[in-house]
Structure 1
Amino acid sequence: MPFRKIIFWLHLIAGLIAGAVIAVMSVTGIGIAFEEEILKWFDRKVSRIEVRPASGEKLPLMELKQRVESARPGFRVTSVVIHRDPTLAWEFHADGDGPLYVDPYSGATNDTRSHGAHEVIHKLEEWHRWLGDKDGQASVGRLVTGVSNLMFVVVCVSGLYLWFPRSWGRRALRPLVGLKFGYKGKARDFNLHNVFGFWSLPVLLVLGGTAVAISFEWGHRLVFTVAGEEAPKSRNYGMMFVPPPVVPVPSEGAARLPLDEAFARVATAFPDWKSISLEQFPAVSGPAIEPLDFGVTLPDHMPSRAYIPVKSDPFTGGILQAVRFQDRSPGLQARVWMRFLHTGGAFGLPGKIIASLACAASLVLVWTGFALSWRRFFGKRRRSVPSASSPDFPSP
């Protein structure tokens, strides 16, 4: 059998096996790519506050915390986010709940309106990652989506080989790179399949290749092996973990710094900050002295590059540890890049739009691929004008 025929049948069989799952992951992928933008849109009104004059005084953070917990029994504040933008309310979070938007000047609160949207997106994520299987990470659905991602890469690579025309020229390339609206039936489906495949292929290869690293333990480890590093056991955000620093022994009788002053010290250390979060309110008692756990977000469209975990001295406010993205190992940086290349988020909103358009194109590829396969195996053999075997449209 000629080599081209072998590649063609590999392309066809892989597409038929994984096509339905690829379609599900494409549809759900479009939905979850814009999670941040969707949730912000739902909260666009409740997350805003009236801009006060420069002389306006914010309430102390601990007082705000007490007011919130007194007004809302059962809402035990665990973390808070403050924004540089003076029109944005502060965000208070409790275990498994939030955000609760709080006006730092008056203490007035507003509930989030995005709970429903968040639930829908969460369901889409479950279907995208493991086809909604209740067993989640350890499910058969997770294995199915992983194998489908791998087969999708095979489909993309084999499709690129099949796309190359046997003879070059304007007449040969015209139906491969541009839509021809006069085609019908088989020729139309071939035209759509080739054109959408050609223009979306670079992005689809990135989406599929990064999905393999996310889906499989061996794919995750391969990234670090290529970089000459040992792969961390965790494949989620836990791989970013860095052992916390030890707080220097304070002088006798030293008092803890007020949290507002601790925030101010962090803001001074990172003058271009966009938001600062206190990831965990410090315990009021206990034998161990833990550093204050902050998170600084800088103006950068890629979340993991924008976010800097910061540990500070609870007595002096001095910065004990700040791990920037560029301080990470090459293997870890590459692995994080893959995570956000997969969603398009590595390049902000434009990247998400491009990734979503590629996912939409993959739906066209799945549909036309199934249609062409149906005609091959079950359809009546008849010619359409122009025919798929004509010089205007080379057949595999």
Structure 2
Amino acid sequence: MRRLRLILFWTHLVAGVVAGAVVLIMSVTGVLLTYQKQMTLWADLRGVEAGPPSSGAAALSADSLVRLVASRSKKTPTAVVWRNGASMPVEVQFGRDGRQYVSVYTGAVVGTGSAGMRKVFSVATDWHRWLAMTDDARKTGRAITGWSNVAFLVLVLTGMVLWWPRNLTWTSLRSVLWFRRGETAKARDFNWHNVIGIWSALPLAAIVASGAVISFPWASDLVYRVVGEAPPPRAPEGGSAPRTAEGGAGGRERPSAPMAGRTTDNAPLVGDVPTLAAARMSDWRTVSLAWPKSTEAPLVYTIDRGMGGEPTKRATLTISRTGERTKWQPFDSLSTGRRARNVMRFTHTGEVLGFWGQTLAGLVSLGAAVLVYTGLLLSLRRLLAWRRRVARATASPQPDALRA
């Protein structure tokens, strides 16, 4: 057992030293990204007046609104988002070309979103995902953050063993379960490292493991294989991925293609969206329509009664415009592999548990930053102490017998 702990200790130490700086960057940016969706929406709608212009004013039909947007825009939307509430504007997304918030009563543009807030989160995301590398270097940056995340998982798993007291008594447990005052710098760092490590170990393991699933295709495929399913086909590298209402392929915004002719005839016939949503999910909060690629393409709606990152509260409604049957896909109807993969995706941000899950993920990310900081300080002190021992051994005089 002693030898096992020694092996785990050196594995823990080496992984921390090698990946520590990158893990620190990911932890700090993870804290900054905790409430990204809420803060972005708040900044976008701050000061926006989108309520009825007069008492009893009737809202435009969703068809009329979408046709109006399509007729006056020089860009093709990528998605349209309706939010439940009489004073909530409709959001029209244009991929990398931005977005417009449109009054549901007049069709007028009442806002274009907060460029400053989005820039802050864009910079934080770039550092979190690929260390702010650009263009072709992003692939290298993503590999570095991905493998550093794997090293962090090793740190967490080995730490679960190392942080646990060898003698399981209340006194020894208390010393690692809560912060102590009046300690030297070294003892304080050791105490903080243990306390934060123990309290954050389980949620941190879930966040880091789900991060590996996001980073590596083989890890994502493994989720399906574990439950006995074949992984879904993957888009070829450099090819296009399915669009999402959150903004482009895989959550990233992308340039939109020009609309052929830019006439109202090309606008999708979307029907009465609020009524359509309420019929399927009475407590809906948002309905997102991925803009169809053609007039014959089906209408794909994502109806959500959560905060945008709770897959169990989301469903997809696909309405064919060529005669096929309407398809309704709530979370429970998905295969086991897809359900597991969706849950893993939003476990990384904590959103799978709603607001309190996000809060927990943010606190754990903050704790991870402290863990890396204290861990690197402890490693540096160990290195300096080792160098002092070597220097003393080298400088000490040799006995006469040994000299002879």
Distance 2:287 2:120 in 1: 28
The TM-score with structure 2 as length reference comes to: 0.79
Which structure 2 residues correspond to residues 350-361 of structure 1 after superposition, within 5 A?
A: 350-361=356-367
Which structure 2 residues correspond to residues 134-283 of structure 1 after superposition, within 5 A?
A: 134-135=134-135, 139-234=139-234, 238=242, 259-261=270-272, 264-265=275-276, 267-280=278-291, 283=294
Quote how far apart the aligned CAs of 1:48 are. 4.6
- Which of 304, 319, 325 is the matching residue for 1:297? 304
Amino acid in the other structure paired with 1:292? L
Quote how far apart the aligned CAs of 1:132 are. 1.8
Q: Which residue of 2 aligns with 1:123?
A: 123
User: Contact 1:272–1:299 at 8 Å: present in 2 too?
Assistant: no
Quote how far apart the aligned CAs of 1:183 are. 0.4
Amino acid in the other structure paired with 1:26? S
- 1:350-387 CA-to-partner distances (Å, cap 9, x unmatched) read 111111111111111111111111111114979xxxxx
Distance 1:188 1:173 in 2: 16
Quote how far apart the aligned CAs of 1:43 are. 1.9
Q: Which residue of 2 aligns with 1:312?
A: 319
Quote how far apart the aligned CAs of 1:193 are. 0.9
Q: Which residue of 1 aligns with 2:338?
A: 332
3-state SS of paired residue (2:45)? coil
Amino acid in the other structure paired with 2:120? V
Quote how far apart the aligned CAs of 1:98 are. 3.9
Distance 2:243 2:120 in 1: 27
2:22 aligned with 1:16 = no
3-state SS of paired residue (2:326)? strand
Quote how far apart the aligned CAs of 1:346 are. 0.5
The TM-score with structure 1 as length reference comes to: 0.81
3-state SS of paired residue (1:378)? helix
Distance 2:353 2:241 in 1: 19
Q: Which residue of 1 aligns with 2:99?
A: 99
User: Contact 1:136–1:142 at 8 Å: present in 2 too?
Assistant: no
Q: Which residue of 1 aligns with 2:42?
A: 41
User: Contact 1:266–1:319 at 8 Å: present in 2 too?
Assistant: no
Quote how far apart the aligned CAs of 1:102 are. 1.5
Q: Which residue of 1 aligns with 2:254?
A: none
Q: Which residue of 2 aligns with 1:247?
A: none
**Identical amino acids, percent of aligned pairs:** 32
Q: Which residue of 1 aligns with 2:352?
A: 346
- 1:183-225 CA-to-partner distances (Å, cap 9, x unmatched) read 0122111111111111111111111111222222221121111
In 2 relative to 1, CA 359–375 (structure 1 residues): closer, same or farther, beyond 3 Å?
Answer: same
Quote how far apart the aligned CAs of 1:138 are. 6.2
Distance 1:142 1:126 in 2: 10
2:381 aligned with 1:375 = yes
User: Contact 2:77–2:95 at 8 Å: present in 1 too?
Assistant: yes
- 1:308-367 CA-to-partner distances (Å, cap 9, x unmatched) read 221224489x96112212111111111111111111110111111111111111111111
Quote how far apart the aligned CAs of 1:272 are. 3.3
User: Contact 1:262–1:314 at 8 Å: present in 2 too?
Assistant: no
Quote how far apart the aligned CAs of 1:99 are. 3.0
Quote how far apart the aligned CAs of 1:294 are. 2.4
Distance 2:112 2:231 in 1: 38
Distance 1:73 1:213 in 2: 39
Distance 1:191 1:321 in 2: 55
Unaligned 5+ runs, structure 2: 245-266, 390-404
User: Contact 2:126–2:133 at 8 Å: present in 1 too?
Assistant: yes
User: Contact 1:46–1:112 at 8 Å: present in 2 too?
Assistant: no
In 2 relative to 1, CA 283–219 (structure 1 residues): closer, same or farther, beyond 3 Å?
Answer: closer
Q: Which residue of 2 aligns with 1:249?
A: none
User: Contact 1:298–1:307 at 8 Å: present in 2 too?
Assistant: yes
- CA RMSD, aligned part only? 3.2
In 2 relative to 1, CA 363–218 (structure 1 residues): closer, same or farther, beyond 3 Å?
Answer: same
User: Contact 1:257–1:315 at 8 Å: present in 2 too?
Assistant: no
Q: Which residue of 1 aligns with 2:80?
A: 80
Amino acid in the other structure paired with 1:329? S
Q: Which residue of 2 aligns with 1:245?
A: none
Quote how far apart the aligned CAs of 1:271 are. 3.3
